[in-house]
Amino acid sequence: MILYEKIAAQLPAWRERIKSLAKDHAEVVVDKVTVGQIVGGMRDIKSLLTDVSYVDSNEGIRFRGLSIPEVLKKLPKPRGAKIPLVGGLYYLLMVGEIPTMEEAMAVEDEWDKRAEIPDYVYKMLKTMPKDAHPMILLNLAVMSLERNSAFARKYREGMKKDEYWEPALEDSLDLTAKIPVIAAFIYRYKYFGEKKKPGYNVKLDYGANFARMMKISDKKGYADLSRLYFILHSDHESGNVSAHSTHLVGSSLSDIYFAYSAGLSGLAGPLHGLANQECLAWLLEVIKRFDGVPSRDDLYKFAWDTLNSGKVIPGYGHAVLRVPDPRFTAQMEFAKARFPHDDLVRLADMVFDVVPTVLKEQGKAKNPAPNVDAISGTLQYYYGVREFDFYTVLFGVGRALGVTANYVWSRALGMPIERPKSVTTKMLEEAVAKSLQPL
């Protein structure tokens, strides 16, 4: 498989670089840690290593050095489509190079071979109560597939540390092939009571297949959106909750099923992946309250009412970014190019104009600009996916691409078990008292 060959070819030199850093330069100081960072969620402490993606606070995400517009322009696309193949993005994340069409298709073909879901998984999902959150269903399905982990099997049998990454990649290809099929089944089963397996078609690419399995009427438009959505949500460097949870659990040599399951659990939180459903709910509340798109003044007052009631404005603010999220911009451009007159798109655009002013006036949020979630639900809603609690599942499908690429590279580079050090409140107070003593 091409990903094995391409990663294997890079490993000797890359391992040398890591070895040299660890052995010869271990004492070089990269960052300092302040009391504010310890009590403030470790914000900005430079302590994680990944080459898969990097978030610059003033520019946004770069996947393997490429900005979102570059990724969308340079990756190979299905014939006649504007949005690239997800297989090409996976190749880029894993290998670090822009693939040719053949290389992107090699990943897509590999997924086709691995997309079959064992019957017991469907049966298990059907035994769950109707009110189970779709993220629970997705997580259960992932955990139920763990018994097939090549990594866990090889580890039990005995394997050299240098070889860890090979079954890790095997598992990652299996998992990323199966996730969209499971997600589509959950959607059709939970909201439409359909018990049949999704109709996977090997002639279609990852995004087009997803549109087909979801049974969206505008399949072509939704295939484009699915590719865009999965690409944009794939990775956001290592410090966000879903990526970091996956990395942390994986560092104990739990296989990717356990590790990604932890990531999904983190993604389910309202300050992380759940924000997209909350954001759309907020937009719909505005439409309901004003019987359509309101005036700027009304929206301004509504935004203040939200803040005054103690809530956050979902879709705005970010822990790292200090500019509008380029993932927001890419989705807004997609919407404006295809359905600019849609009420929710017009409203989302007005919110983009008004809410940053409100947040600036309130003076709390360090970044008053929109993040990825400010628009993603609006696009899904347009194509008829209106079951809000499903949106985080879609995020989870995309995020699987990034966290598995990171998992494979962490094993390939022999990353150790993660174990930061904690301190007590008294120790912090003592550190503060010491810093206040006259010299």
Catalytic residues: 272, 318, 373
Residue among 46 and 82 whose Cβ is closer to ligand HAX: 46
- For residues 2 and 283, which CB has a smaller minimum distance to ligand HAX in the complex? 283
Choice from 312, 323, 342, 349 touching ligand HAX (CB under 6 A) = 312
Residue span binding ligand HAX (CB under 6 A) among the ranges 96-104, 149-157, 289-297, 367-375: 367-375
**Count of residues of this chain found to bind ligand HAX when the rule CB under 6 A is applied:** 22
Q: Write each residue from 224 to 263 as x if it is in contact with ligand HAX (CB under 6 A), else as -, in one continuous string.
A: ----------------x-----------------------
* H-only helix segments in 309-424: 326-338, 343-362, 373-382, 391-412
Question: CA separation (Å) from 67 to 214, 360, 390?
Answer: 29, 27, 28
Beta carbon nearer to ligand HAX, 19 or 43: 43
Judged by CB under 6 A, which stretch of 9-17, 139-147, 334-342, 369-377 contacts ligand HAX?
A: 369-377
Task: Specify the residue, 313 or 393, whose C-beta has the smaller distance to ligand HAX.
Answer: 313
Burial environment of residue 133 by CB neighbours within 10 A (0 to 12, 13 to 18, 19 or more): middle
Q: Is residue 327 within the footprint of ligand HAX (CB under 6 A)?
A: no
Token representation of residue 359: 């947040």
With CB atoms as reference, the residue minimizing the distance to ligand HAX is 317
Q: How many CB atoms lie within 10 A of CB 199?
A: 12
Q: Which residues, at least 6 apart from 278, have a Cβ–Cβ distance to it below 8 Å?
A: 270, 314, 315, 373
Contact code string over 150-189 relative to ligand HAX, x by CB under 6 A: ----------------------------------------
Among 151, 164, 185, 316, binds ligand HAX (CB under 6 A): 316
Tell me how far the alpha carbon of residue 2 is from its chain's centroid: 24
By CB under 6 A, name the one of 77, 154, 227, 272 that touches ligand HAX.
Answer: 272
Binding to ligand HAX by residue 364, rule CB under 6 A?
A: yes
Residue 337, CB-side half-sphere exposure with 13 Å CA sphere: 11
Q: Which residues of 4-13 are buried (b: 16+ CB within 10 A; e: fewer)?
A: eebbeeeeee
Q: Is 314 in the site for ligand HAX (CB under 6 A)?
A: yes
Contact 389, 230 (CB under 8 A): no
CA distance 180 to 397: 6
* Three-state secondary structure call for residue 134: helix
Tokens representing 183 are 């997600």
Among 371, 376, 378, 406, the residue binding ligand HAX under the rule CB under 6 A is 371
Residues of this chain, 344-363, that bind ligand HAX according to CB under 6 A: 359
Contacts for 374 with CB less than 8 Å, ≥ 6 apart = 279, 314, 315, 316, 325, 328, 348, 351, 352
Would you state the structure tokens that stand for residue 211, as one six-digit string? 């549109």
Using only C-alpha atoms, the chain has a radius of gyration, in whole angstroms, of 22
Burial of 18 (0-12, 13-18, 19+ CB in 10 A): middle
Residue 315 is a binding residue for ligand HAX (CB under 6 A): yes
> Which CB atom, from 244 or from 411, has the smaller least distance to ligand HAX?
244
CA angle 215, 403, 238 (to 5 degrees): 130
**Nearest CA among 150, 161, 155 for reference residue 15:** 161
Query: Which residue of 98, 213, 313, 405 would you call a contact of ligand HAX, by CB under 6 A?
Result: 313
Q: Is 266 in the site for ligand HAX (CB under 6 A)?
A: no
Q: CB under 6 A: which stretch of 138-146, 161-169, 266-274, 420-428 binds ligand HAX?
A: 266-274
Of 216 and 313, the one with the shorter C-beta distance to ligand HAX is 313
Residue 365 touching ligand HAX (CB under 6 A): yes
C-beta of 92 vs 365, nearer to ligand HAX: 365
Residue 241: helix, strand or coil by DSSP? helix
Q: Quick one: which segment of 90-98, 126-134, 340-348, 371-379 binds ligand HAX (CB under 6 A)?
A: 371-379
Euclidean distance between CA atoms 421 and 399, whole angstroms: 28
Residue of 93, 204, 275, 280 interacting with ligand HAX (CB under 6 A): 275
Helices vs strands, H then E, count in the chain: 20, 3
Closest CB 62 distance from ligand HAX, rounded Å: 17
Task: Look up residue 430 and give its two tokens.
Answer: 């003592």
Q: Interface residues with ligand HAX (CB under 6 A)? A: 240, 271-273, 275, 307, 312-319, 359, 364-367, 371-373
